[in-house]
Amino acid sequence: MISYVWAEDKRGNIGYQGRLPWHLPADLHHFKKLTLNHPIIMGRKTFASLPGILPNRVHIVLTHDQALKEKYQENNKVLIFNELTDLKKWIAQQDQEVVVIGGASLFKEFSDQVDILHRTVIHSEFKGDVQMPKLDYGKFTLMNQEDFKADDKNKYSYSFLDYQRK
C-alpha cells in the first residue's frame, strides 16, 4: 500500500528554496506520527531538506547521484535507487505501507497507485517554487478532517485531511 504525506498552503505550494515555506510544529508532529516505522520514499532534494536521518524510518531515495549512493551504501537506514523501475519493483515487494513524502515528481509518478492521502492544508499563502501536482480527489473518499486555529505554538490555522482511494 502506498500513502502520501504532505503539507501545502492555500495555493498548493509545498516547498520554497529546498525547504518548507512555513514552520508548523503540529504538522511536524503529525508527519512523525504518520511516518514512524514505515519506509519513507523521497527524491534527493527532499532527502537533503531533512534535518538528518529520521529515527525509526528507512529512507528510500530516488536519485542519479552516485556519490550519495556510495555515501550511504553501508547505512541500513538509507536505501538509494538510481532508477524509477527499480524503485517500483522494490515497492511491489513490500508487505507494509510505504509513504511517499516528496518531491513533486514522485507525487506525480505514483498518483495512479496511491491508496491513502494524508494532506495538511495550511490556511495561509506562502512564497513557493514547488507545487503539489494536481490529484483527482474524485477518486478518493474523505475519511477524516480535523480543523485547527492558530495558537501560541502554531502561527497558522490548518486542517488535517485523510482520504482513501474509492
Residue 7 is predicted with a pLDDT of: 98
Residue 131 is predicted with a pLDDT of: 97
Bridge pairing between strands 78-81 and 59-62: parallel
Q: Which CATH architecture is the domain 2-165 placed in?
A: 3-Layer(aba) Sandwich (3.40)
Of the candidates 129, 97, 115, which has an alpha carbon nearest to the alpha carbon of residue 11? 129
Give the Cα separation of 166 and 163 in Å (integer). Answer: 9
The band of 119, judged by pLDDT with boundaries at 50, 70 and 90, is: very high
State the cell numbers at 20: 518548507
Q: Read off the pLDDT of each residue in 139-143 and give the average, rounded to a whole number.
A: 98
Residue 166 is predicted with a pLDDT of: 97
The band of 118, judged by pLDDT with boundaries at 50, 70 and 90, is: very high
Give the Cα separation of 86 and 84 in Å (integer). Answer: 5
Q: Is residue 6 a contact partner of residue 41, using CB atoms and an 8 Å limit?
A: no
Residue 67 is predicted with a pLDDT of: 93
Give the Cα separation of 64 and 70 in Å (integer). Answer: 11
Residue 34 is predicted with a pLDDT of: 98
In total, the chain counts a number of residues equal to: 166
Give the Cα separation of 79 and 59 in Å (integer). Answer: 6
Residue 45 is predicted with a pLDDT of: 95
Q: Is residue 19 a contact partner of residue 127, using CB atoms and an 8 Å limit?
A: no
From start to end of the chain, where are the E strands? 2-9, 13-15, 40-43, 59-62, 78-81, 98-102, 116-122, 130-131, 140-148, 158-165
Q: Read off the pLDDT of each residue in 89-102 and give the average, rounded to a whole number.
A: 97
The reported pTM is 0.96
pLDDT digits (tens, 9 = 90+) for 8-56: 999 999 999 999 999 999 999 999 999 999 999 999 999 999 999 999 9
* Percent of the chain with pLDDT strictly greater than 90: 100
The band of 114, judged by pLDDT with boundaries at 50, 70 and 90, is: very high
